[in-house]
Amino acid sequence: MRAGMVWLLLPVLLAAAPAGHAQGTVDYLVRVEDPGSQLYHIETVLPATGAATLVSLPSWTPGAYHIDNYARYVRDFSASDGDGTPLRWEKVDKDTWQIHCEGARQVRVSFNFFADEATLVGSLLRPDFGFFNGTNLFVYPEKRYDHPARVRFELPDGWRIATELIESGEPGVYLASDYHELVDNPTFLGHFAIDSVMADGVWTRLAVYPADAIDDAGRRQMLEALGKIADYAHDLFGEPPYERYTTLVYLYEGEPTGGGGLEHSNSHFDIGPAMVLQSEEGIRDWTYGLFSHEYYHAWNVKRIRPAEMWPYDYEDEQYTPLLWVSEGFTSYYGPLILVRTGLTSETGFWGSMQGNVSSVEDLPYQESVEDVSLSTWISPIPISGGYYYAKGSLIGLLLDIKIRDATDNRHSMDEVMRRLWHDRYERGRGFTTEDFLSYVGDYIGRDEMERFHRDYIDGRVALPYAEVLALAGMSFAVDTIVEPLLGIYPDYSDEERVLVDGTVPGSSAVEAGLQAGDELLRVGHVEVEGEGWAPRFREIYADSTGVPFTVEYLRDGERMTGEAHIATRTRFEYRIRPLASASERQLEVRRGIVEGVTR
């Protein structure tokens, strides 16, 4: 039975924790003296270790699998003893400093951190607001992550704090049980809106900057969605793994240029365009899927974690072949949570799976999803790291169907994930590929799971969409579409002009003599105005392969004309639809997936 939800709009919600200062605690100070300077002042006091103490900053943030080297933003580094006497120090690698203790019992490290990076793994400071990731600001004794931490904030008058660090009971002072917890809590500082909703007896908070970027009705809509997502996720695993959860949303002005979210154990941090969230539809389309994805991560990857990343190592890459589970299955359960909570329709769920098929099959070649998981640390790579999101979600769907079909809908992937939770996370360790194969093999047969892994996970065989989807009463079809293609990479950044950013080798654009920087004026019978010219071109010149046409363009202010012939490209559209003649058994499997039920 689910608890009812209560939503509140309020200045801040406090959940006090007992104050304490454990022996061996590392003390941190975060001071904002002049927000306009974009500098956080950071001080760290830690026990000295022998003749020299080594302190480091992380080189990456868990959840974002790339090396960022945050030490490059450190300014004015210094070290002293507990009495303020300067100590000698030198840098020994890109993000590690060696401090000569000279008999000191304590070491104080001070530096300024330049914060102008509005990214999910960065830090930002403005005159009225700031956010930071702990991996950016907090040094640690090299290779030591077990120390408790105490953080004191000194902020301008009127600034407040949103974080899931533990409140000590002393204003502006927060605690963490160890370094992992310390850096796993992104933090908002300054002026922002903060609201709360209670789901299943647990408060879920929503912090939004700028405070007026979304009106009360919009924030209420977001809160209600968060409440439903949290309520269902708690039920799915049996209980919430946190005492409170916070969603931090930073919105930028201007045209959309991208966005996304990054998961943390008790929170997630999102960045997106404010202009998209000015309507009920915009909020639904942009936030619901993002929220459900990041929320499910509180279980999958933050706690149910590949053994290769248990515990986290902040100095070096942590390679794992299992991101197709950690990210891919989250990309399966995100839409699944939405349909099971009524936040999207069943058609919407299957549409998201159909979109993932396109993301996988439209690539020039297939790759092992395990190999791409390992290669994600390399940027750029021929097959995007996003591949394990899309293909992993489809593997999750197909295995869920196979489990339900093999067991007469008595078991499901939900059960596999709960077993990983209880048998691995709750016992303090990560899971391996062998663990996963064994758990699924318990339901579909070990030999079948080994074959599936060999062909579709470690291997490069195309996923068996039609065969497996039919078990859930769904059909799979591929439409082949041949259409004309000019062969340019258009630049629409100038609203009044369409520029050529580049050309496709061997295309009609190359034949016509187009080059990067040219301004398109006319393509055949189509006058070029905005983005609408391309679909008109495809419509007018359909079934016209080889027909000559003229391209008019400007180059350095001179009007020019080029001649070319219509070339075509072949693309594919993938359709997942209900089978008209589905049996009751097939329908039961389908209902089990979208409703989250078993016999």
Q: What is the CATH number of the domain that holds 437?
A: 1.10.390.10
Predicted pLDDT of residue 6: 36
Per the structure, the count of domains in the chain is 4
Predicted pLDDT of residue 13: 30
Residue range 279-303: mean pLDDT, rounded: 98
- The CATH number given to whatever domain includes residue 57 is 2.60.40.3650
Task: Please answer whether residues 150 and 28 qualify as being in contact, where contact means their C-beta atoms are separated by less than 8 angstroms.
Answer: yes
pLDDT interval class at 4 (50, 70, 90): very low
Among 260-264, 299-303, 527-531, whose mean pLDDT is lowest?
527-531
pTM: 0.91
Q: Is the dihedral of CA 398, 399, 402, 407 positive or negative?
A: negative
Same domain, 123 and 176: yes
| Percentage of residues in the chain having pLDDT higher than 90 | 91
* Helix/strand number for the chain, H first, E second: 17, 29
pLDDT in tens, 448-476: 999 999 999 999 999 999 999 999 999 99
Same domain, 179 and 42: yes
Please tell me whether residue 111 adopts helix, strand or coil conformation: strand
Given a cut of 80, whether residue 133 has pLDDT beyond it is yes
Same domain, 369 and 256: no
Residue range 512-525: mean pLDDT, rounded: 98
Residue range 145-167: mean pLDDT, rounded: 98
> 330-333 long-range contacts, Cβ below 8 Å, gap at least 24?
330/293, 330/296, 330/297, 330/300, 330/301, 331/293, 331/356, 331/389, 331/390, 331/392, 331/393, 331/396, 332/392, 332/393, 332/394, 332/396, 332/397, 332/400, 332/413, 333/292, 333/296, 333/300, 333/396, 333/417
Predicted pLDDT of residue 569: 93
Same domain, 437 and 520: no
Residue range 241-245: mean pLDDT, rounded: 97
Residue range 272-278: mean pLDDT, rounded: 96
Predicted pLDDT of residue 8: 39
In a domain, 587, yes or no: no
Same domain, 455 and 551: no
Given a cut of 70, whether residue 11 has pLDDT beyond it is no
In a domain, 591, yes or no: no
Residue range 589-593: mean pLDDT, rounded: 99
pLDDT in tens, 481-501: 999 999 999 999 888 899 999
Given a cut of 80, whether residue 385 has pLDDT beyond it is no
Q: Is 445 exposed, middle or buried (0-12, 13-18, 19+ CB in 10 A)?
A: middle
pLDDT in tens, 228-241: 999 999 999 999 99
Predicted pLDDT of residue 3: 36
Predicted pLDDT of residue 1: 31
Q: How far apart are CA 54 and CA 97, in angstroms?
A: 6
Given a cut of 50, whether residue 42 has pLDDT beyond it is yes
Q: How far apart are CA 495 and CA 491, in angstroms?
A: 10
In a domain, 1, yes or no: no
pLDDT in tens, 63-107: 999 999 999 999 999 999 989 999 999 999 999 999 999 999 999
Which residues constitute the domain of residue 534?
486-566
Predicted pLDDT of residue 380: 67
Beta bridge partners of 53: 99
Predicted pLDDT of residue 382: 67
| Percentage of residues in the chain having pLDDT higher than 70 | 95
Predicted pLDDT of residue 24: 86
Predicted pLDDT of residue 21: 44
- The CATH number given to whatever domain includes residue 538 is 2.30.42.10
Same domain, 201 and 278: yes
Same domain, 104 and 216: no
In a domain, 412, yes or no: yes
Given a cut of 60, whether residue 414 has pLDDT beyond it is yes
Same domain, 464 and 329: yes
Predicted pLDDT of residue 494: 87
Q: In what order do the strands lie in the sheet with 160-162?
A: 124-125, 129-132, 187-190, 160-162
In a domain, 172, yes or no: yes
Given a cut of 70, whether residue 7 has pLDDT beyond it is no
Given a cut of 50, whether residue 14 has pLDDT beyond it is no
Predicted pLDDT of residue 253: 95
Q: Is 25 exposed, middle or buried (0-12, 13-18, 19+ CB in 10 A)?
A: middle
Rounded to the nearest integer, the mean pLDDT of the chain is 94
In a domain, 2, yes or no: no
Kindly write down the DSSP assignment for every residue of 384-408, as one continuous string: -TTHHHHHHHHHHHHHHHHHHHHTT
Given a cut of 70, whether residue 17 has pLDDT beyond it is no
Residue range 245-254: mean pLDDT, rounded: 98
In a domain, 7, yes or no: no
Same domain, 43 and 170: yes
Residue range 2-14: mean pLDDT, rounded: 35
